[in-house]
Structure 1
Amino acid sequence: MEGEPTAELIRAQLRRLRLNANLSQEEFGKLVHFSGSQVSAVELGQRPLDRFFLKRADEVLGTGGLLTSLLKLAERDGQPSWLRPWLEAERNAQQLWCYHPTLVPGLLQTENYARAVIRADDMLSDDEVEKRVAVRLERQAVLGRPQPPKLVAVIEEAVLRRADESFRGIMTQQVAHLVQCVERPHVSVHVIPAEVSTHVGLAGPFTLARGDDGGWVGYLENQLGGTPIDKDEDMAILIARWESVRSEALPRRQSAELVKEVITSWT
């Protein structure tokens, strides 16, 4: 897997902890609901590291969550080198401004919504889908910090209403999650109503992060991944475009009412 040095550390720690507990691979497998051969394959690197397996291993071995914490590090290490500066900026942000024309922003997605969006790429294996879902959910931890960043998200009304019968259950859960999110004092969601036909944001999604030093970093998403932005002249353009997009959106209270109205219209 990507992040291989950390993955090797996980496998070594797993084997050490199992041996210290005087458990054979077969005995340990029964406790974590895996076969002895599956345990062996994990320890030898012949089977991908599995979040459920490591969570059960942490519980059985009493590690205090060591193995799953190391898995998060491995997943972080496995991110493309061009993305890591943005992830660092996101983790350390005091303010986050994000706009997406077609999706609920990643920091506000439910697990099922994130999985459906990621799985839409049929070139990804099931294991890769689950790994990306886990990374996306882990990134949301920034909003649960003791002093979280102020998050302002702007979305399109059409995003809320995109729900055919097969997607209605997932979308109902997602919109209900948005309602819960906006009840937090540090989260604001603003909706651009459907009657606004065109504006500069429709050119593509972007996110801006302001750090402790007052500096801004941007991130542009595209079909091949994304591009971190840090040049002053580029940031000036993105901040101006953010102000334009934000001005098209409804105020916070009216946006919250519209989100709730969407749920009511389905039920």
Structure 2
Amino acid sequence: MEGERTAELIRAQLRRLRVNADLSQEEFGKLVHFSGSQVSAVELGQRPLDRFFLKPADEVLKTGGLLSSLLKMAERDGQPSWLRPWLEAERQAEQLRCYQPNLVPGLLQTENYARAVIRTNGALSDEQVEKRVSARMDRQSTFLRPDPPEFVAVIEEAVLRRAGEGFRGVMAEQAAHLIEQALRPNISVHLIPTEVSMHVGLTGPFTLARGTDGGWVGHLENHLGGVVADKDEEVAILLSRWEGVRNEALPRRQSVELIKEVMTS
């Protein structure tokens, strides 16, 4: 797959440039504010590539932005075209707010859950499915940043009760993963219980990202892909909708208890 070949090229270039600069992994890690073990994991392909690592690597190694440019090529190869404009906002966000009425948010999905969701598109080949699963997992590397974003997710309880024959194992694994993620200091998961039958968010999923400048940008998902909302009036509407869904959701601790209840029911 093109995205994987480009990623391997980045890792090879990184190793070559570091060695030519006569830097050990530990020495290089100190210069880019990562540990030596994290540098090793990147070079071995055990840690996803992201610009929060490659940008300072470009500066230290004086590449003229080569590694970051190669990463952009890998993203173009590995992500659906409609998603690309949103990725930069998501990667650089200080805070993310996501409402999902139908699915677990992509940033919190397990690999098996993501695969099950992506496979519902019968037009995709097995290779295309795996390519999209890999890309979705790579997006979660935003939480591996030294300064990961605060992520607040609001999900309908009904999403977790979608566990028909053959899907129970996947859903049980996904629910356990949600609890694990919800215990991290920068991630909050809130459920809207099924007894809340109608509210403003049911018209569709959306995500909001706040950048380092304090500005917000939104992303709306639909059957044709997605739309970035960056106009002031659009963002204002989404922020208002967010307040609506967040007010209907349970507090963090109660939400975790409800997830546990769903797992055992």
Q: CA deviation at 1:82?
A: 4.6
Q: Relative to 1, partners in 2 of residues 1:8 and 1:259: Cα closer, same or farther, differing over 3 Å?
A: closer
Q: CA deviation at 1:256?
A: 0.8
Q: CA deviation at 1:145?
A: 1.6
Counterpart CA distance in 1 for 2:44 and 2:73 is 14
SS at 2:228 equivalent: strand
Q: Corresponding residue for 1:77?
A: 76
- Report whether the alignment pairs 1:132 with 2:132: yes
Counterpart CA distance in 2 for 1:112 and 1:3 is 21
SS at 2:227 equivalent: strand
1:142-181 aligned within 5 A: 142-181=142-181
SS at 1:221 equivalent: strand
Q: CA deviation at 1:75?
A: 3.8
Q: Corresponding residue for 1:195?
A: 195
Q: Which runs of 5+ in 2 are unaligned?
A: 17-39, 50-66
SS at 1:98 equivalent: strand
Count of residue pairs the alignment pairs up:
218
| Superposed CA RMSD | 2.9
Q: Corresponding residue for 1:107?
A: 107
Counterpart CA distance in 1 for 2:181 and 2:102 is 19
Q: CA deviation at 1:193?
A: 0.3
Q: Are the aligned partners of 1:82 and 1:228 in contact in 2 as well (CA < 8 Å)?
A: no
Q: CA deviation at 1:64?
A: 2.9
Counterpart CA distance in 2 for 1:176 and 1:257 is 12
Q: Corresponding residue for 1:86?
A: 86
Q: CA deviation at 1:66?
A: 6.8
Q: CA deviation at 1:97?
A: 0.2
Q: CA deviation at 1:165?
A: 2.2
For normalisation by structure 1, the TM-score amounts to: 0.74
Q: Are the aligned partners of 1:189 and 1:256 in contact in 2 as well (CA < 8 Å)?
A: yes
Identity %: 64
Q: CA-to-partner distance for each residue in 1:92-143, whole Å, 9 max, x for gaps? A: 0000000110100000000000000001101001111011001100000111
Q: Are the aligned partners of 1:100 and 1:156 in contact in 2 as well (CA < 8 Å)?
A: yes
Q: CA deviation at 1:65?
A: 2.9
Give the partner amino acid of 2:75.
Answer: R
Q: Corresponding residue for 1:47?
A: none
Q: Which runs of 5+ in 1 are unaligned?
A: 18-58
Q: Corresponding residue for 2:205?
A: 205
Q: Corresponding residue for 1:26?
A: none
Q: Are the aligned partners of 2:7 and 2:71 in contact in 1 as well (CA < 8 Å)?
A: no
Give the partner amino acid of 1:149.
Answer: P
Q: Are the aligned partners of 1:2 and 1:77 in contact in 2 as well (CA < 8 Å)?
A: no
Q: CA-to-partner distance for each residue in 1:34-58, whole Å, 9 max, x for gaps? A: xxxxxxxxxxxxxxxxxxxxxxxxx
Q: Relative to 1, partners in 2 of residues 1:131 and 1:218: Cα closer, same or farther, differing over 3 Å?
A: same
Q: CA deviation at 1:149?
A: 0.6
Counterpart CA distance in 2 for 1:239 and 1:132 is 29
SS at 2:87 equivalent: helix
SS at 2:43 equivalent: coil
Query: Which of these two proteins has the greater Rg computed from alpha carbons?
Result: 1
- Report whether the alignment pairs 1:65 with 2:34: no
